């Protein structure tokens, strides 16, 4: 990442990420398609309502590993190979501990969390069952994410893709078998995901123990290094808090959606699955920018950082808006993948056509946040996103829905808060000399 064509480096790094993120979306898509067509809209609503709660729990822990990736990338750019090894083993040890915690917490506290969300009674039993089975694979989910973060921090986005292809194919086959041909029902969809996550985590971890480089994992050296973990948490904790609080905001939004009944839950859930594909070029370019910025700042290539930031933002924004326009035109066709029921599709189309043309703002937010995270400035994205995507969004929905009890009010919360955060990010990006901050800290 520290030499050669910037555009080529960013695009070639982002393409495997894009394919990998696409396959990860297929996990949830396959669950929704199979469950929706085989088990009906109540079961689809049960799967849909779990999305925001899963992100609440997984998002915090995955956010912590953002700090590990930034530290590894910075040390690798500075050719501090011993430091890379220490950060790698610390990251793996932290993943094992947090993965075990997520598995236990998610399994035992699922009913309480779903009650807090106001999950309707006709959906509640299936939601609890899906959640409990899903979180049995919490350790595998976190370990795989940590291993992928290590590969990506080193500039390798291809190896995680190979393992993900295998696990996605496995998940698809098992989903069809468990749901359609066994009496497991909705638990079969969750079990298929757990097994697939186990396979991907095993493949990624095994490769880290075999790779030739400073990020090679040696089992006997897996331990937490105090100074390193403090640096990783100082960078990663704000992102983890940001993910969790935003997820809490999403839980509140989901609770408001739940109040409109199972049709609204299924329709919005179908839209959010579709929206996940739109996020792919956005999140992939954001991740590429984080790695690019961390490595080049570590190498002292400050002019290259500025140029790369401009290129990455342009690519992300344009790609997001093109995809948004396609979604606006063809969303009825796409939404029929999840349900054939007209009332469910109508809700999904209404949300899609409200939000899709504003995806350029969403891309701008994520790219600017990725750049600042790569520079170690994770508190800024946390502050901006929490104030707009959580506080403002919740306040808007709570107040306006009370006076105008129409679900379209919830849909407009997203473009509104994307606009506010984009303005805040842009002002900070051009007013604050964040590269100078990094050089001074070094």
User: How far is it, in rounded angstroms, from Cα 296 to Cα 371?
Assistant: 11
Query: In this predicted model, what pLDDT tens digit does every residue of 197-209 receive, in sequence order?
Result: 899 899 999 999 9
User: How far is it, in rounded angstroms, from Cα 294 to Cα 84?
Assistant: 13
Rounded to whole angstroms, what are the CA distances from 22 to 19, 276, 349?
5, 9, 22
User: How far is it, in rounded angstroms, from Cα 335 to Cα 346?
Assistant: 9
| DSSP 8-state code for residue 392 | I
Among residues 343, 338, 351, the alpha carbon closest in space to that of 47 is found at 338
User: How far is it, in rounded angstroms, from Cα 377 to Cα 372?
Assistant: 5
31-35, 159-163, 235-239, 338-342: range with lowest mean pLDDT: 31-35
| DSSP 8-state code for residue 356 | G
Query: In this predicted model, what pLDDT tens digit does every residue of 157-184 receive, in sequence order?
Result: 788 888 888 888 888 888 888 877 877 7
User: How far is it, in rounded angstroms, from Cα 272 to Cα 304?
Assistant: 36
Mean pLDDT of the 74-101 span: 87
User: How far is it, in rounded angstroms, from Cα 20 to Cα 34?
Assistant: 21
Query: In this predicted model, what pLDDT tens digit does every residue of 286-327 receive, in sequence order?
Result: 888 888 888 888 778 888 888 898 899 999 899 889 988 988
User: How far is it, in rounded angstroms, from Cα 157 to Cα 151?
Assistant: 6
The domain of 425 spans 6-441
Q: Are 30 and 172 in contact (CB under 8 A)?
A: yes
Q: Residue 199: inside a domain, yes or no? A: yes
Q: Are 68 and 90 in contact (CB under 8 A)?
A: yes
Among residues 139, 193, 163, 197, the alpha carbon closest in space to that of 19 is found at 163
Q: How many residues does the chain have?
A: 442
pLDDT at 419: 94
Q: Are 79 and 298 in contact (CB under 8 A)?
A: no
Q: Residue 417: inside a domain, yes or no? A: yes
410 by Cβ neighbours in 10 Å (0-12 / 13-18 / 19+) ranks as buried
User: How far is it, in rounded angstroms, from Cα 141 to Cα 107?
Assistant: 14
Indicate whether 192 pLDDT > 90: no
Q: What's the structural domain count of the chain?
A: 1
Query: In this predicted model, what pLDDT tens digit does every residue of 2-44 receive, in sequence order?
Result: 778 888 888 888 888 777 777 766 666 666 677 666 666 666 6
Q: Are 74 and 294 in contact (CB under 8 A)?
A: yes
At residue 306's C-alpha, the angle toward residues 305 and 312, to 5°, is 85
Q: Residue 132: inside a domain, yes or no? A: yes
Mean pLDDT of the 55-78 span: 76
Q: Residue 67: inside a domain, yes or no? A: yes
User: How far is it, in rounded angstroms, from Cα 48 to Cα 271?
Assistant: 10
Token pair listed for 252:
């509140």
Q: Are 25 and 179 in contact (CB under 8 A)?
A: no
* pTM, full prediction: 0.71
Handedness of CA 43, 46, 52, 57 (dihedral sign): negative
154 backbone dihedrals φ, ψ, rounded to 5°:
-85, 0
Q: Residue 436: inside a domain, yes or no? A: yes
Rounded to whole angstroms, what are the CA distances from 434 to 23, 27, 30, 146, 283?
34, 38, 42, 27, 21
Token pair listed for 70:
């930034």
Token pair listed for 358:
């504003």
Token pair 């995809």 is found at 323
Which residue intervals of 259-375 are DSSP H helices?
262-298, 302-335, 342-355, 359-374
- Give the model's confidence band at 423: pLDDT under 50 very low, under 70 low, under 90 confident, else very high: very high
Q: Residue 1: inside a domain, yes or no? A: no
DSSP string of 177-206? Answer: HHHHHSTTTHHHHHHHHHHHHHHHHHHHHH
DSSP string of 26-37? Answer: HHHHHHHHHHHH
């Amino acid at each position: 990442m520290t030499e050669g064509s910037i555009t080529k480096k960013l695009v070639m790094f982002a393409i495997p990420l894009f394919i990998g993120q696409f396959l990860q979306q297929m996990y949830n898509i396959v669950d929704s398609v199979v469950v929706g067509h085989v088990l009906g809209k109540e079961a689809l609503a049960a799967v849909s309502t779990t999305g925001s709660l899963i992100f609440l729990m997984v998002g915090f822990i995955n956010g912590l590993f953002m700090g590990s990736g930034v530290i590894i990338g910075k040390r690798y750019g500075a050719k501090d190979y011993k430091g890379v090894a220490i950060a790698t083993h610390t990251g793996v040890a932290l993943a094992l501990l947090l993965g075990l915690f997520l598995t236990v917490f998610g399994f035992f506290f699922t009913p309480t969390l779903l009650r807090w969300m106001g999950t309707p009674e006709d959906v509640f039993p299936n939601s609890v069952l899906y959640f409990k089975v899903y979180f049995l694979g919490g350790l595998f989910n976190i370990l795989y994410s940590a291993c992928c973060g290590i590969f990506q921090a080193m500039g390798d986005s291809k190896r995680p893709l190979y393992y993900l292809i295998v696990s996605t194919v496995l998940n698809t086959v098992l989903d069809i078998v468990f749901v359609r041909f066994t009496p497991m029902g909705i638990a079969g969809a969750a079990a298929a995901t757990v097994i697939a996550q186990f396979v991907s985590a095993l493949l990624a971890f095994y490769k880290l123990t075999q790779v030739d480089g400073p990020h090679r994992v040696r089992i006997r050296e897996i331990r937490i290094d105090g100074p390193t973990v403090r640096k990783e948490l100082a960078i990663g904790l704000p992102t983890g808090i940001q993910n969790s609080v935003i997820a809490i905001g999403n839980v509140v939004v989901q609770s408001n959606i739940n109040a409109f009944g199972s049709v609204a839950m299924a329709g919005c859930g179908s839209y959010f699955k579709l929206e996940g594909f739109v996020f792919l070029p956005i999140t992939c370019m954001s991740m590429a920018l984080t790695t690019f910025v961390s490595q080049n700042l570590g190498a002292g290539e400050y002019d290259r950082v500025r140029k790369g930031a401009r290129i990455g933002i342009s690519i992300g924004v344009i790609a997001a808006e093109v995809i948004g326009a396609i979604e606006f035109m063809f969303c009825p066709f796409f939404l029929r993948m999840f349900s054939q029921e007209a009332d469910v599709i109508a809700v999904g189309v209404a949300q899609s056509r409200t939000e899709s043309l504003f995806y350029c703002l969403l891309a701008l937010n994520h790219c600017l946040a990725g750049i600042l995270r790569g520079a170690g400035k994770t508190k800024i994205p946390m502050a901006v996103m929490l104030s707009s995507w959580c506080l403002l969004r919740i306040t808007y929905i709570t107040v306006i829905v009370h006076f105008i009890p129409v679900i379209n009010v919830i849909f407009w919360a997203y473009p509104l808060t994307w606009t506010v955060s984009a303005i805040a990010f842009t002002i900070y990006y051009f007013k604050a000399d964040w590269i100078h901050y990094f050089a001074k800290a070094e």
